Amino acid sequence: MRKLGSFLFLTLIGLFLLLTVLEMPIMGDPANPSNTVTTPRYISEGARETNCKNLVSAIMLNYRSYDTMGEMVAIFTVLAAALAILGREKAKRGLSPLKVEPSPLIKITMVIYIPFFIVFACYVAINGCYSVGGGFQGGVILASVIIIFALIFGFDEAVKKFPASKRVFFEGLAVLYFMLLGLMSLFVGGNFLNLNLFGSPVRKLFTLGLEIGIGLTSGITIASLFYILKKVERE
Amino acid sequence: MMITRVFSNLIYVASMILFLIGFYAVALRPNLIKKIIGINIMETSIFLFLIGIGNRKGGAAPLIVDGVKNYVNPLPQAVVLMALVVGVGTTALALILAVKLFEREEEEQL
Amino acid sequence: MTSLTVLLVLALITLAIIIVSSRDMLAAVIFFSAYGLVMALVWQQLGAPMLALAEIVIESGIISVLFVVAVFRTSKDDAE
Amino acid sequence: MDFHLILTSLIIAIPFLGAGITYWFGHKLKTAWDYLPFLFSLTTLILTSILFFGGSGGHVIIKYPFLPFSKVELSINSLNVLLAFLTALVWTAAMLFSVSYMKKSVKRRRFYVFMLLAFSANLGVFLAGNFLTLFIFFELLGLSAYPLIVHNESIEAFEAGTKYLIMVFLGDLALLLGILFYYKIAGSVAFATGLSGGSDYFKVITFALMGIGFGVKAGVVPLHIWLPDAHPVSPSPASALLSGIMIKAGAYGIIRSLFSIFGPEIRSIDVGFVVIWVGVVTMFVAVFMALLQENAKKMLAYHSISQMGYIVLGIGCAIYLGGKGALAIGGSLYHIVNHALFKTSLFLTVGAVFYRTGEFNMYKLGGLLKKMPIIAFCTIIASLGISGIPLFNGYVSKTLIHQAVTHLGHGGWVSLAEILFLIISGGTIASFIKLFALIFLGKLPEKYESVKDAPPFMIAGILPLTALVIILGILPNRFWGTFMIPLLKNLGYKTLSLNSVSIINILTGHDIQSLIISLFVGILIFAMGTKYDLFHMRFPCWFGVNYWFEQLTMGLYFLTHREVHLPEIMVAGPGTEAVKEGSISGIYARTEVHRLSFFVISLKRRIKYSYLKSKAVLTEKINYIIGKLRKGFLAKLYQDLSASKTGIEFELYVQDLNFGMFLVLFLLVICFISFRLIG
């Protein structure tokens, strides 16, 4: 009975949603409000104003950098919450999802490949302004490399390579670093995180710095969340 | 008329269907991890919806190239990109909670 | 709206139904990873390659791994 | 939708779909099943011959704008089509051969599936229209060859397969970087005839990276280590194709990259010099090693490397000579065709001998001439071909390459290269005298009294190839004029430089003189070898690339282990012969020492240990996953893959294969992303 009721409720919501969606303007129409209100400004002026060819990065780092900062604080909060709930790696033995030892091929190949993956991650993060990519993507790739490392070479080895002492330092530093970079603009008389007052070369450097900050925060946080999930205390 | 409208707004319709599927998992599946997967499906469906809103016919990716005038809207993409990363965080937190809950229950049974 | 997009969208819905209705958690997680890949392709079609890149790494990379770990930690036959 | 698009797509799609059909429905057709893969390859052969004989030799590029990856394109030109036709021909012959050969084998469904997949990938490599497509099919080829190598599921096969995959993944990485660099210089991934932009330095690095990537497949000397292990352990039809066609994919890649980067008409003396010497060293080392082998297949594998050396030498001469190099590259391409024909037939004949006698060791065979006359006849034809005797095809291409070497100049290193060339030809002759004499002449061992000639399907597979060996040897100018000249034009040679090579003369006084010298050297080597028992000479283990490769990989393997906990199995137990013998590794294994000491434990033992350990340690976890997958979507695949008698080794095999698939997927993702990134 309860299931039937839920189904009915779901169907109701579904009908409502579908009806709403069908009232939407045709997708991709240039006359849509989403394509006429703020977008022309971003597209025509964005690249010139921010020196970023990649408009997504431009919006994230310049027009909406305040939001970005808030978002970084949010994921940092997630990390803090996870730590508060589960504590930091108290368990002595890690629990590996795969008990079988990876074959020698996998280990040898990954030892060769991992440096290139890291280079690729840095490349994606640093070139965020000029190409597809950006700080988030680079950071996430970096995190996935760390996770791959932990999965293949064993969790204990990974903890040795990235010990908690180092990670704690970076976790705190990454968010702080972003904010400190933002504070820099106060010294030239602008608002917080307003890069427009700097000259072009300095602003490029600052954009790069912001990208690196975003990459560090997201990468380290995600990798740490994986570590925490992997090593929950267990009697 | 209706049919053409559904077809041209297919992405919206699809995202709503995906949302419903995710919602079904969240509401009616007893398994906690299934629920979290459901939340993720809902999340991605909303991302799909936002990207669909930002789309523009024949528009290129918002990466400025000389000579191209028609770009898709970069604003939803920036929003979605932030939400993606936050999504990982929330998913991880939810999973950690689920694991903790499971272990607590196990302890109580013993 | 190319025919490829339509196909991908249909694949998405099918995958979502499989994920939700599957009794096997591990299979659900693996299909969820595939779902992420297809979703990334759709986004690529809609002109968002940056998001597609992030989606591939996040959805079918990191989140899947997290889910696998969680599934192993919460499954009953986990006992050693 | 034009004619060429449908035809070319079908050529690649039919083996691919055929693999699927063989896999899903094959076993339901009880008796007809064994012939199904052959029928698929025959269909492909017919389609390819339509393309080959019907095509006007023009240059058609086939695009797929309706696919999401619009950079994927195929092309039809004289070079591509010639190689594709050769592939289809040889593959069909080997498939016909394997109808009989694989009847005894247990898991032939898997064999056929990956055979057809590799076929599709190989055709794709040859028909690719740009480097990106080439890379995709190259990855598919490299991966689908792995199940063929480990088909026998012995420890040796797994070891060879692991080595092969490590080398392939290294090569893939280099190739990917090379293609990215190429894209950076050229602005597109399309094949070109010489790049105008970019500094010479950058170009050389690009070529070096691409050369490493393709060279791994081609078996160029410092990268050849997987080849002599991998080719002998696979079933005979597969090793015939590995040696005959698949390494040609590497050679084709080298030719394409070289001519795309440097162009045919421009002399690049430094690059040419290096490539020439790589070729000469490859030839020399491989022939030398081939002379020392007992296993017939291993000897043939080493000869494959040595013949690749000829091809690389020809390519090097072409780039060294610049505009006058049409002869050299023509010789190389001619040799690619020739080598595919005679090496495949040699492997198949040796396989036929194995089918009847169960023996690959040449020293344990003998006197089979009367028992297997047709196979003996085919062997002698193919041996004459590979030895470079006039009236057989090997002579033509070897003479062309030799003429190109003499064009390089006089004195100095050119003379040294020429002398080495003659000695190597002599070595080839000697080792094939040895092969034929040991297998077919001499005294017949008693247990082979009842041996019959090979089954008709095998002979039907080998005979067309040997017939082509003779035809290409008797009518070289016909072949040259019809196929090679348009092909050289396609590579970018202008009419002016082509006029000088429109007719080849391969019977000048100098050629005859050098032929006589080679024959003399060959007989001398054979006589000396048998008299002083030089063929059983052995070197210390550190003498060779293989040893250092194993040390390096072991170093990498233990690089991530800060503390090595000595597994009990290494201290005492199975897989530790060394411990009992009291050798160095045994002593090290007893004392807990720094990880560097583990360098002395060879890769072989490590892999053996790993398999044994996984046998011991394999817990419910992996069984759990595999069990889940068996119940679920991938059920059939995994059932078929792991329905083996050896059992646990198989889980690792599945693991390796999965890893390979994911890695290749990842590389492709990186590739696609990067092409957007760089621009």
Percent of chain D predicted with pLDDT > 70: 77
User: Is A107 found in the same domain as A27?
Assistant: no
Report whether pLDDT(B64) > 70: yes
d(CA D287, CA D303): 6
Report whether pLDDT(B46) > 90: yes
Q: Rounded to 5 degrees, what are φ and ψ at A171?
A: -60, -45
SS3 D512: helix
- CATH number for the region B2-109 comes to 1.10.287
Of B1-10, C56-65, D205-214, D666-675, the one with minimum mean pLDDT is: D666-675
Handedness of CA A24, A27, A29, A33 (dihedral sign): positive
User: Is A165 found in the same domain as A107?
Assistant: yes
Percent of chain D predicted with pLDDT > 90: 8
The residue that leads in pLDDT, D508 or D634, is D508
Report whether pLDDT(A50) > 90: no
CB contact under 8 A, D166 and A101: no
Of the candidates D117, D160, D161, D159, the one whose C-alpha atom is nearest the C-alpha of residue D139 is D117
Interface check B1 vs A, CB under 8 A: no
User: Is A69 found in the same domain as A7?
Assistant: no
Q: What would the pLDDT profile of B99-110 be if each residue is shown by its tens digit?
A: 888 878 877 877
List B56's β-bridge partners, or say none. A28
Do residues A71 and D588 lie in contact, with contact meaning Cβ atoms separated by under 8 Å?
no
Token readout for D526 is: 């054979």
Torsion angle of the four alpha carbons D41, D91, D663, C11, in this order, in degrees rounded to the nearest 10 = -10
Predicted local distance difference test score (pLDDT) of residue D609? 56
List D74's β-bridge partners, or say none. D62, D128
Handedness of CA D518, D522, D525, D531 (dihedral sign): negative
Predicted local distance difference test score (pLDDT) of residue D542? 61
What's the pLDDT band for D70 if we cut at 50, 70, 90?
low
Predicted local distance difference test score (pLDDT) of residue D571? 39
Q: What would the pLDDT profile of D336-355 be if each residue is shown by its tens digit?
A: 999 999 899 999 998 888 88
User: Is A32 found in the same domain as A77?
Assistant: no
Q: Which residue of B has its CA nearest to A219?
A: B85
Predicted local distance difference test score (pLDDT) of residue B38? 92
Residue D394 burial (CB count, 10 A) = 29
Handedness of CA D411, D412, D413, D416 (dihedral sign): positive
SS3 per residue for D320-345:
HHHHHHHHHHHHHHHHHHHHHHHHHH
Interface of B with C in 14-43 (CB under 8 A): 14, 17-18, 21-22, 24-25, 29, 31-34, 36-38, 40-41
Token readout for A180 is: 């400190």
Q: Which residue among A42, A85, A228 places its CB closest to the CB of B75? A: A42
The residue that leads in pLDDT, D314 or D370, is D314
Token readout for B86 is: 């936050």
d(CA D260, CA D195): 7
How much is the CA Rg of chain D, to the nearest whole Å? 25
User: Is A84 found in the same domain as A183?
Assistant: yes
d(CA A231, CA D153): 38
Report whether pLDDT(B76) > 70: yes
Predicted local distance difference test score (pLDDT) of residue C13? 92
Q: What would the pLDDT profile of D588-644 be if each residue is shown by its tens digit?
A: 343 333 333 343 444 555 555 555 555 444 444 444 444 444 443 333 444 444 443
Report whether pLDDT(B72) > 80: yes
Report whether pLDDT(C77) > 80: no
Predicted local distance difference test score (pLDDT) of residue D586? 39
Q: Which residue of B has its CA nearest to A221?
A: B89
Q: Which chains touch B (3 or more CB pairs under 8 A)?
A: A, C
What's the pLDDT band for D540 if we cut at 50, 70, 90?
low
The residue that leads in pLDDT, D53 or A99, is D53
Of D208-222, D395-409, D574-588, the one with minimum mean pLDDT is: D574-588
Predicted local distance difference test score (pLDDT) of residue D481? 80
CB contact under 8 A, D655 and A108: no
The DSSP call for residue D68 is S
Average of pLDDT values for D302-324? 88
The residue that leads in pLDDT, D251 or D611, is D251
Question: Using beta carbons and an 8 Å cutoff, which residues of C are at the interface with D?
Answer: 2-4, 24, 26-27, 41, 44-45, 49, 53, 56, 72, 77, 80
Per DSSP, helices labelled H in D390-411 are: 393-407
Q: Smallest CA–CA separation between C65 and chain D, in Å? A: 14
Q: What would the pLDDT profile of B15-30 be if each residue is shown by its tens digit?
A: 999 999 998 888 888 8
SS3 A140: helix
d(CA A192, CA A211): 17
Handedness of CA D382, D383, D384, D389 (dihedral sign): positive
Q: Which residue of A has its CA nearest to B12?
A: A21
d(CA D396, CA D475): 10
For residue A226, the chain B residues in CB contact (below 8 A) are: 92
Report whether pLDDT(D560) > 80: no
Average of pLDDT values for A10-28? 85
Residue D392 burial (CB count, 10 A) = 23
Q: Which residue of B has its CA nearest to A81?
A: B93
- Residue environment code for D329-357, b if the CB has 16+ CB neighbours within 10 A, otherwise e: bbbbbbbbbbbbbbbbbbbbbbbbbbbbb
CB contact under 8 A, A24 and B9: yes
For A164, half-sphere exposure in the C-beta direction (CA atoms, 13 angstrom radius) is 11
- Residue environment code for D192-212, b if the CB has 16+ CB neighbours within 10 A, otherwise e: beebeebeeebbbebbbbbbb
Predicted local distance difference test score (pLDDT) of residue D415? 85
User: Is A33 found in the same domain as A113?
Assistant: no
CB contact under 8 A, C62 and A232: no
Of the candidates A180, A109, A233, the one whose C-alpha atom is nearest the C-alpha of residue D163 is A109
Domain ranges of chain D: 338-538, 549-606
Interface check A95 vs C, CB under 8 A: yes
d(CA A146, CA A161): 10
Instruction: Please report where in the chains the tokens 């009419």 appear, as a residue.
Output: D495
Of the candidates A62, A57, A206, the one whose C-alpha atom is nearest the C-alpha of residue A136 is A57
Report whether pLDDT(D552) > 80: no
Q: For all residues of chain D together, what is the average pLDDT?
A: 77
User: Is A119 found in the same domain as A19?
Assistant: no
For residue B46, the chain A residues in CB contact (below 8 A) are: none
Residue of C18, C25, C30 to mutate for D, most D C-beta atoms under 10 A: C30
Token readout for C15 is: 């995958």
Average of pLDDT values for B47-69? 83
Percent of chain A predicted with pLDDT > 70: 89
CB contact under 8 A, A116 and D553: no
Average of pLDDT values for A224-228? 83
Predicted local distance difference test score (pLDDT) of residue D574? 37
Q: At what angle do helices D648-678 and D131-149 cross, to 10 degrees?
A: 170
The residue that leads in pLDDT, D668 or A204, is A204
> CB neighbours of D383 closer than 8 A, spacing ≥ 6?
D342, D346, D432, D435, D436
Interface of A with B in 159-178 (CB under 8 A): none
The residue that leads in pLDDT, D261 or B5, is D261
For residue A54, the chain B residues in CB contact (below 8 A) are: 62-64
Q: Domain range spanning residue A93?
A: 52-230
CB contact under 8 A, C49 and D631: no
Of A149-158, B71-80, D397-406, the one with minimum mean pLDDT is: A149-158
Q: Which residue among D560, D652, D670 places its CB closest to the CB of A153? A: D560
Interface of B with A in 9-28 (CB under 8 A): 9-13, 16-17, 19-20, 23-24, 27-28
Q: Smallest CA–CA separation between B4 and chain C, in Å? A: 12
Flag whether A44 is in a domain: no
